[in-house]
Chain A
Amino acid sequence: NAGVIQTPRHKVTGKGQEATLWCEPISGHSAVFWYRQTIVQGLEFLTYFRNQAPIDDSGMPKERFSAQMPNQSHSTLKIQSTQPQDSAVYLCASSLDPGGDYTFGSGTRLLVI
């Protein structure tokens, strides 16, 4: 079991460019979560899926952020027209059961310059 895999580990984009982050959850886990982590805000919930269906995207900045889960083996978080304030570590997690322990990936460190 390789755990939750996130790619890339690091990404640098210019302001206004698009960034796509990938997450491969643990096989068999039915829920996938996206969080954003910064020094100032800590861990902020963005969105999650259960059985590939979007359940709650209340943490997503509406205009430029989108997330998808086209199949049970991966999810993507896309940020259009990136801004410096989007710089953060983006963490993906998966869980087996409702309310179960999360297993986190190592994160993607996004830097927008």
Chain B
Amino acid sequence: QQKVQQSPESLTVSEGAMASLNCTFSDGTSDNFRWYRQHSGKGLEVLVSIFSDGEKEEGRFTAHLNRASLHVSLHIREPQPSDSAVYLCAMSITSNTDKVVFGTGTRLQVSP
């Protein structure tokens, strides 16, 4: 089954500095990748969906996918204290299922 590892486990950045989060997966069969954010005590909200190699931007959030290196990243431009949350990457297990597997998460703290 697809395994997903996220790094770093936690990250502290200053307000306005770029934040970069990483996700590696165990095989290249997935074709459906997403980044979610979870504020404390809340559900998850989707930030960016990406389905092909390259870059996808949604506002201040940019995802990069490189299936050959089994890697997807998230870059947050000009992070704000309100961006402090846990960020999870998610990928479908195969192309013909709704089910996804989530990474373990990166806890981001943005300091003013």
Chain A interface (Cβ < 8 Å from any Cβ of B): 4, 31, 33, 35, 42-43, 45, 48, 50, 55-56, 91, 93, 95, 98-107
Contact = CB atoms under 8 A, between A and B. Distances in A.
Interface residues of B, number: 23
A91 B32 contact: no
Interface of B: 32, 34, 36, 41-46, 49, 88, 90, 92, 95, 97-105
B43 A56 contact: no
A89 B70 CA distance: 30
Contacts, number: 50
A50 to B, nearest CB: 7
A101 B99 contact: no
Contacts of B99: 33, 45, 48, 56
Contacts of A98: 98
Nearest to A44: B102
A80 to B, nearest CB: 24
Select the residue from A4, A31, A104 with max chain B CB neighbours within 10 A. Answer: A104
A91 B103 contact: no
Contacts of B103: 42
Contact of B98 (A31, A42, A43, A106): A31
A107 B34 CA distance: 20
Given A33-B98, A42-B102, A48-B99, A99 B32 contact: yes
